[in-house]
Amino acid sequence: MTASFNIGPHALPNPLALAPMAGVTDLPFRMLCRELGAGYVVGEMLSSDPRLRGTRKSELRRNHEGEAKPIAVQIAGSEPAWMADAARYNVRHGAEIIDINMGCPAKKVCNKAAGSALLEDESLVQAILEATVDAVDVPVTLKIRTGPDPDRRNGVTIARIAEAAGVQALAVHGRTRADRFKGEAEYDTIREICAAVSIPVFANGDIESPQQAKEVLERTGADGLMFGRSAQGNPWIFREVWHFLTTGDLMAAPCLEEVHDVMMRHVQGLHRFYGEVQGMRVARKHFGWYLKDHPGGQALRDRLVRVERAAEQLRLLDDWFTLGQAA
């Protein structure tokens, strides 16, 4: 497999991407995934509603300080004019790629007729994409699902609309809106989308191992892969997949010393980024993901989520590794 994957003028170092996930893919996690092999990362979803731009949440999600280029920002909404204005606003604040969210199945997003709910209305999809592409001079990309429900998989139609509107790359999750995250992802529709358009496509959904990554690429003909939940607690998946795709060999899992180092740096980064109280709270979800497969990990997590000081959170984590409890 070649490393060639371009989004407009931006040549990615490899075609493995971290999916935008609200509450997960903040700046500390994006930078960590880049360090461990991700060729492309997309920031957390930002609402196109101009009334929300000044909130602390929006300001944190727009923070790309020290992040490797290209800076990709995802926006969500259902009003073409608002989406166009949000794209211009984020480009003024450093975005080099604008990604449009038409893939999120969360009720709080779909209830506002945004995210994957937009797949129900192909004419509105076209209006949003055309308005956004026309509004900015940077590449616009699109993340979608395969359709509203299993009986209406209109992903190919949406992909063609996107290409005609000037969208420069697609990411396709192999489930419908109605599926949410239930069952297994299907890749036949992604294969049909890849065959129908000439712009690059990331395949997304249930890619949890290097072997599965290779199989999905072969089944779909996708140009790249996007990892979401499989990267939670496992940011090493990017380098492991890329090593397997380029050499045919499986890379050894990270040793305990490296897991220790990465977890400590990640948690310290969260404390710095959010401040002590919020940083501790955000770290809790990551503890569950990192520790779920470690003997004694659940007991440690239960202790970590109860402490009230950042220094104590770090001390407990450090002791668990250095005193041999993680072995």
Which positions are catalytic? 104
DSSP structure class, residue 268: H
DSSP 110-133: HTTT-GGGGGG-HHHHHHHHHHHH
Amino acid at 271: H
Residue 54 neighbours by CB under 8 Å, 6+ apart: none
| 3-state class (DSSP) for residue 230 | helix
Alpha helix (H) ranges present in 44-175? 56-61, 80-92, 107-110, 122-135, 155-165
Short-list 14, 9, 10, 8, CA closest to 223: 14
Please give the radius of gyration of the chain, using alpha carbons only, rounded to the nearest integer. Answer: 20
Q: In angstroms, rounded to a whole number, what is the distance separating the alpha carbons of residues 207 and 173? A: 11
